[in-house]
Structure 1
Amino acid sequence: MQPYQADPSSQITAALGGIKALVCSLDGVLNSGTLTFDAEGREMPSLFARDLVAIREALQLGMKVAVIAGRQASAYRPMLEAAGAVDLFLDGEDRLEAYELFKSRHGLQDDECACIADDIDDLEIMKLAGLPITPINGVEYLRARVGYVSVYEGGKGCVREVVEMILEHQGRWAYSEKQAQG
């Protein structure tokens, strides 16, 4: 799905079935976009626990996950590695190159990747991804060009919502109300 062909829900539903990987921007998606530093200038990372639990569950169910930061963000590495085998691009790599490396490493095609980003610096990846997504507080320019706008803000559950949506659609999210009702 191209970002410029946004919505109809039938396109989203069709895309969900083929998603094998999730690519997340760090700033504004996994964190709130607010950067906090201590008195020595060290970044004090913070991530929403529910998003990390969802990433762990996605990895355990075979989904590939990449986190891309367009800046030096190694302070997040221990928290993200604790979630599982996440492909981390936290050293300021070129975002598009990181995305292509991730796909190549796992034998993925664009249409097998969902991408969550909140700002225009990820637009090139969003144009390629099979399901481009932004948090509800993503920049307006992106909100008008993605396949899905999360009802959650970045750093406050949008990753969890997307993981659940993908895995539930694929019948692999065991914590679904649909699954619980049989």
Structure 2
Amino acid sequence: MQNILAKAARLKLLILDVDGVLTDGRLFFDNQGVEYKCFHARDGHGIKLLRQTGVEVAVISGRKSNSVALRMKNLGITHVYQGHENKIMAFEELIQTLAIDPVQAGHVGDDLLDLPIMSRVGLAIAVEDANFAVKQRAHWCTTLPGGQGAVREVCDLIMQAQGTFAGVLEGYLS
């Protein structure tokens, strides 16, 4: 676990997949083809707290959805890449834009499309219910499944590794 904490301590960026990470991976459509997604409130709060500590958060998704754009806007996430089945191009643009080394980035994924980014970042994370090949190649796996608090678990881990969690907690206790 010390190795994981050391990797998390140097992160300046957390990249999230959407379907299967921020959601449980199920897709809901109404009769007009409007897509609905369900996001976990604790994940959103964890993202807000992590961003307050100075860690950037970005989303790179193979699919495109208006509900994702709305949720990310609500969370204050400005680095949103949707409709990128080749996620590496978005990843490279993001790394250049933020002028950081890939080792300073972490990525949370659940399926094979996430492997190219996971193989390039300093901390590759798989959600509990990720594809077995993704879990095998991750540095760390969450105990919670995608869309059910896994992202909050990651945010808490990063804040603990960077020594910022106690300050966040103190804000709620004082």
Structure-1-length-normalised TM-score: 0.88
Between 1:166-175 and 1:19-28, the stretch displaced more is 166-175
Unaligned runs of 5+ in 2: none
Distance in 1 between residues matched to 2:170 and 2:70, nearest whole Å: 34
Q: Assess if the C-alpha contact under 8 Å between 1:70 and 1:91 holds in 2.
A: yes
Q: Assess if the C-alpha contact under 8 Å between 1:136 and 1:151 holds in 2.
A: yes
Between 1:106-115 and 1:66-75, the stretch displaced more is 66-75
Q: CA deviation at 1:83?
A: 0.7
1:118 aligned residue: 110
Q: Assess if the C-alpha contact under 8 Å between 1:52 and 1:80 holds in 2.
A: no
1:20 aligned onto 2:12: yes
The 3 A distance-change label for structure 1 pair 177 and 87 is closer
The 3 A distance-change label for structure 1 pair 48 and 175 is farther
What code does the residue aligned with 1:147 have?
Answer: H
Structure-2-length-normalised TM-score: 0.92
Q: CA deviation at 1:80?
A: 1.3
Distance in 2 between residues matched to 1:49 and 1:180, nearest whole Å: 17
The C-alpha deviation readout for 1:93-149, integer Å capped at 9, x for no partner, is 631111111111111111111100001111110000100000110011111111001
Superposition pairs of residues 26-65 of structure 1, within 5 angstroms: 26-65=18-57
Aligned-residue sequence identity (percent) comes to 29
Superposition pairs of residues 16-165 of structure 1, within 5 angstroms: 16-92=8-84, 94-165=86-157
Runs of at least 4 residues of structure 1 off by over 6 A?
175-181
* Number of positions where the alignment pairs a residue of Structure 1 with one of Structure 2: 173
The C-alpha deviation readout for 1:37-94, integer Å capped at 9, x for no partner, is 1110110122111101111111122111111110222321111111113311123363
Distance in 2 between residues matched to 1:166 and 1:158, nearest whole Å: 13
1:172 aligned onto 2:164: yes
Distance in 1 between residues matched to 2:66 and 2:50, nearest whole Å: 22
Secondary structure, counterpart of 2:155 in structure 1 = helix
Q: Assess if the C-alpha contact under 8 Å between 1:19 and 1:114 holds in 2.
A: yes
Aligned-residue Cα RMSD (Å) equals 2.0
The 3 A distance-change label for structure 1 pair 170 and 179 is farther
Q: Assess if the C-alpha contact under 8 Å between 1:17 and 1:166 holds in 2.
A: yes
Q: Assess if the C-alpha contact under 8 Å between 2:49 and 2:168 holds in 1.
A: no
Q: Assess if the C-alpha contact under 8 Å between 1:64 and 1:86 holds in 2.
A: no
Between 1:24-33 and 1:88-97, the stretch displaced more is 88-97
What code does the residue aligned with 1:116 have?
Answer: V
